[in-house]
Amino acid sequence: MTQHSGSTSDELPTGGERSGVRIRRGSERDAEAVLALIDSAIAWFVSIGNVRQWGTEPWSAHPERRARITAMCAEPGSWVAEDEDGQVLGSLVVGDAHDYVPPMDDELYVRLLVADRSPRARGVGRRLLAFADEQARGLGRARLRVDCYGGGSGKLVKFYESCGYRRTETFSVGEWPGQLLVRELTEGPASSA
């Protein structure tokens, strides 16, 4: 069972720069909101010329991607950040490594991280990563790992590095360039600022 600071609550307040944001356990009911976050990110990527990260078409338009996100939202390690009105601002799924990445011993893997790009959601991605850190520590894991798009400007890799992750190896899924990163939990708590 995934826990937060010894609590088994499914609704957990978060600290940080924005009050009124809480992290709660995700479910299949959140799939449409998570798909909307992904679709919004894709539209933004296209607007800045980054068409290789997640493609150019909304994931919600593809049945296999809809099914994949719905299944991920139902996983035990699925969490969402929402505002006081229940609007989903971000999604985090932690668990085992994806099939295309060799697993490591004693790890918790960030399987999905997506956040709204609007000003009202500023810092939500970092806060979800700090929450993943707490989850891993609560489970007695030694490390967190994540993979991300390794192409383009490199800003996504730098974001993870700014959250305490370090690059380990690159990989490819077809023509998609990926970067693996690790955060050893002996390095202290993740920054949520």
For 138-165, what is each residue's pLDDT tens digit?
Answer: 999 999 999 999 998 999 999 999 999 9
User: Does residue 193 sit within a domain?
Assistant: no
In 76-192, beta strands by DSSP E: 78-82, 88-95, 107-115, 143-149, 166-173, 176-184
CATH of the domain at 65: 3.40.630.30
3-31 pLDDT per residue, tens: 233 333 444 444 433 468 999 999 999 99
pLDDT above 90: residue 187: no
What is the signed CA dihedral for 54, 60, 65, 69, rounded to 10 degrees? 100
User: Does residue 45 sit within a domain?
Assistant: yes
User: Does residue 4 sit within a domain?
Assistant: no
Return the amino acid letter for 151.
Answer: G
Position 115 scores a pLDDT of 97
Find, among 29, 23, 21, 1, the residue nearest to 11 by Cα. 23
Q: Where are the alpha helices (DSSP H) in 21-96?
A: 31-47, 63-73
Number of domains forming the structure of the chain: 1
Confidence of residue 189 (pLDDT cuts 50, 70, 90): low
58-104 pLDDT per residue, tens: 999 999 999 999 999 999 999 999 999 999 999 999 999 999 999 99
User: Does residue 3 sit within a domain?
Assistant: no
The domain of 73 spans 13-187
Predicted structure pTM score: 0.86
